[in-house]
Amino acid sequence: MEDDREMKMERRREKGAPTYCVTGATGYIGSCLVKSLLQRGYSVHATIRDPAKSMHLLTSWRGGDRLKLFKADLHQEGSFDEAVKGCNGVFHVAASMEFGVLVKDNIENYVQSNIIDPAVKGTLNLLKGCLKTESVKRVIFTSSISTLTAKDGTGNWKPAVDESCKTPIDHVWKMKATGWVYVLSKLLTEEAAFRFAKENGIDIVSIIATTVAGPFFTSAVPSSIRVLLSPITGDPEFFPIVSAVNSRMGSIAIVHIEDICSAHIFLMEHARAEGQYICCAHSCLMSELVDRLAKEYPSSNTQRNLEEEQGSVPSKISSEKLGALGFTYKYCLDDIVHHSVRCCIDYGFLPLTGK
């Protein structure tokens, strides 16, 4: 297998492998995507906000002269111009991870001006940078399953959830459920990105990531893993999030970090890719997730919140559109849970034994 990888890398070097830009390179998906691209023989322009805080990643990336780091900030106009220059494509992974705010008075105005507007403006700044170089052929936008809902207008489960099942923006503003700020930011940013791309002739494709888990080498445990493991950690910040996801979707949709990175690259290079694609390797009832977690890591803190499952038939989280292009998943639910737990034990986030 290693010999095959080396042969493929050598062929890419001989052909002049593409150069890709990855924004948000210090985040969970971003850092692993940079590593995946380098392992496949590509050149990478990785954007980071604070170079001093990202040096630990260099030992994992090991890109040599095929990796270039660029200091860039979504809030600064023109900040990405140099990073995208000469690149064949851009992976826009960077995003705000605000799940909620403590402001009580004029909260709508606060969220709009301090979170939504900067997120939208930052993405448009990046796309404007892409317009300044003729080399960029496609932009991959990392979206989130949080922008979708499995319930119809009457509150009943839909038979299946596909890319068209967007959560109504006015519903998010009105309900302000757990994680609503993040949902709103993703919805409005993605909407603005596609509108700008259409108006300016940019080829943009969105990958809708489900809960991403597995190994990590970031300096802190990624939020998505903390959400996934919250039924066994009892984390008061993240367990309400997984419960809210379960209430909105009727199940928990999951994908391995290596698979989500492979899907990004797959969509970047597939000629027929267009629009939005759900990336979900497996979706399970909350009870099944809790059972898998408890089996992998027995813990007295295991949380169970299964009231809504009684007599319900949850919607299928469909990744058929992505599969129709030929993409296949490498890792199953057991792999994802096992790799996440083992990595968190090695990191020291989970004690060596859950008992």
> Domain segments of the chain: what residues?
2-213+253-283+316-331
- Tell me, what's the pLDDT at 268? 98
Domain 2-213+253-283+316-331 architecture: 3-Layer(aba) Sandwich (3.40)
Beta pairing partners, 278: 208
- pLDDT tens sequence across 265-276: 999 999 999 999
- pLDDT tens sequence across 254-265: 999 999 999 999
The confidence band for 2, taking pLDDT boundaries of 50, 70 and 90, is very low
What's the one-letter identity of residue 330? K
Average pLDDT over residues 205-214: 97
CB atoms within 10 A of CB 318: 18
Query: Distance between terminal CA atoms of the chain?
Result: 38
Helices (H), the chain: 2-15, 28-39, 55-61, 81-84, 107-111, 117-131, 169-175, 180-200, 223-233, 239-249, 257-269, 286-296, 320-324, 333-347
Residue 7 reports pLDDT greater than 50: no
pTM for this model (two decimals): 0.90
- pLDDT tens sequence across 228-257: 999 999 899 899 888 888 888 888 999 999
The answer to whether 221 touches 170, Cβ cutoff 8 Å, is no
The structure tokens 């809708």 sit at 208
Q: Which of 14-28, 38-52, 201-215 has the lowest mean pLDDT?
A: 14-28
- pLDDT tens sequence across 321-336: 999 999 999 999 999 9
Q: Annotated active-site positions, please? A: 186
Q: What percent of the chain has pLDDT over 70?
A: 88
Task: Quickly list DSSP for 245-299.
Answer: HHHHHSSEEEEEHHHHHHHHHHHHH-TT--EEEEE-SEEE-HHHHHHHHHHHS--
